[in-house]
């Protein structure tokens, strides 16, 4: 019996999403701690996520699937409650839904929405793990430059090496930036993303806005003509916000 879990987590307390062989109480991943809680309730099937998030990256609505034993059929709310007792406060299951037997959290996903949060006000220590402190920023210019990434591109020059053998072509349906109360949000809605792609794109965007590189140089890198920026913004400001599936 296959179910879909929607969960959120504070990435600053985990060493990424993907399970590691050397996990212990001081070195925990999202998958590792979730599977440990499931096993305590008699559920020994592995979980599959919509995608991996790196150490320090947060999730608002990550999606995973797993196959439940029949004795948990229709006991989804009870299961959710019991799991959250052991997972909180840094990991929380929002919903558990039955789904089709062929549903796959990763391969059934159509689009993924990520947001990167910036803060250009007076320093706030409470944001240290949840938004990147930056100098005063022209958000209109940031939005304009960010739209350079929109469309179908080969992002070979905007990925961290060692990301596997996946294709470099990706489609970004919507890209931009806006102010939300006291924060600045950069958003990326795409079919999928390469390893550290968003953090590298955001880093390049800020360099353009602070006149450290020219907009033409960013576009040249996007066209794979030359590399001008390969550093990453910290993971603390990045959030996996939503996964879209066919209804």
Give the span between the Cα atoms of 60 and 105, in whole angstroms: 15
pTM of the model: 0.95
Mean pLDDT of the chain: 95
Q: What is the per-residue pLDDT across 93-111, written as a single tens digit (0 to 9) for each?
A: 999 999 999 999 999 999 9
Rounded to an integer, the average pLDDT of 171-199 is: 97
Find the radius of gyration of the CA atoms of the chain. Answer: 19
Give the span between the Cα atoms of 66 and 14, in whole angstroms: 21
* Helix/strand/coil for 156: helix
CB 82 within 8 A of CB 205: no
Give the span between the Cα atoms of 30 and 8, in whole angstroms: 10
Does 127 carry a binding-site annotation? no
Q: Give the residue from 75, 86, 71, 91 showing the smallest Cα distance to 30.
A: 91
Backbone angles phi, psi at 76, to 5 degrees: -65, -40
Rounded to an integer, the average pLDDT of 226-241 is: 97
Helices marked H in the chain — which ranges? 30-39, 76-87, 139-146, 197-209, 215-222
Rounded to an integer, the average pLDDT of 183-198 is: 97
Assess whether pLDDT exceeds 70 at residue 162: no
Give the span between the Cα atoms of 187 and 175, in whole angstroms: 6
CB 49 within 8 A of CB 19: no
Q: What is the per-residue pLDDT across 117-150, written as a single tens digit (0 to 9) for each?
A: 999 999 999 999 999 999 999 999 999 999 999 9
Domain locations in the chain?
A: 2-98, 110-245
Q: What is the per-residue pLDDT across 39-53, written as a single tens digit (0 to 9) for each?
A: 999 999 999 999 999
CB 179 within 8 A of CB 238: no
Assess whether pLDDT exceeds 90 at residue 92: yes
Q: What is the fold of 110-245?
A: Alpha-Beta Plaits (3.30.70)
Give the span between the Cα atoms of 38 and 65, in whole angstroms: 13
CB 209 within 8 A of CB 141: yes
Cβ neighbours of 211 (radius 10 Å): 8
Classify domain 2-98 by CATH number. 3.30.70.580
Q: State the catalytic residues.
A: 54
Domain pair 2-98 / 110-245, same fold: yes
Query: What is the pLDDT, as a whole number, of residue 17?
Result: 95
């Amino acid at each position: 019996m296959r179910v879909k879990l929607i969960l959120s987590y504070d990435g600053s307390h985990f060493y990424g999403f993907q399970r590691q062989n050397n996990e212990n109480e001081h070195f925990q991943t999202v998958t590792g701690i979730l599977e440990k809680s499931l096993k305590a309730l008699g559920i020994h099937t592995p979980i599959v996520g919509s995608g991996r998030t790196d150490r320090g990256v947060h999730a608002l609505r990550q999606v995973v699937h797993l196959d439940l034993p029949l004795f948990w059929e229709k006991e989804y709310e009870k299961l959710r409650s019991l799991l959250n007792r052991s997972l909180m406060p840094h990991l929380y299951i929002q919903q558990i839904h039955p789904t089709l037997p062929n549903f796959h959290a990763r391969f059934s996903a159509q689009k993924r929405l990520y947001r990167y949060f910036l803060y250009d006000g007076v320093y706030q220590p409470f944001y240290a793990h949840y938004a990147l402190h930056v100098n005063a920023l022209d958000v209109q210019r940031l939005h304009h430059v960010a739209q350079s990434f929109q469309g179908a591109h080969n992002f070979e020059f905007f990925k961290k090496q060692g990301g596997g053998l996946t294709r470099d072509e990706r489609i970004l349906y919507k890209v931009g930036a806006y102010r939300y109360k006291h924060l600045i949000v950069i958003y990326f809605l795409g079919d999928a993303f390469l390893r550290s792609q968003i953090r590298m794109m955001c880093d390049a965007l800020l360099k353009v806005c602070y006149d450290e590189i020219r907009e033409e140089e960013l576009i040249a890198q996007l066209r794979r003509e030359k590399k001008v920026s390969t550093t990453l913004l910290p993971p603390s400001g990045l959030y996996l916000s939503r996964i879209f599936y066919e209804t």
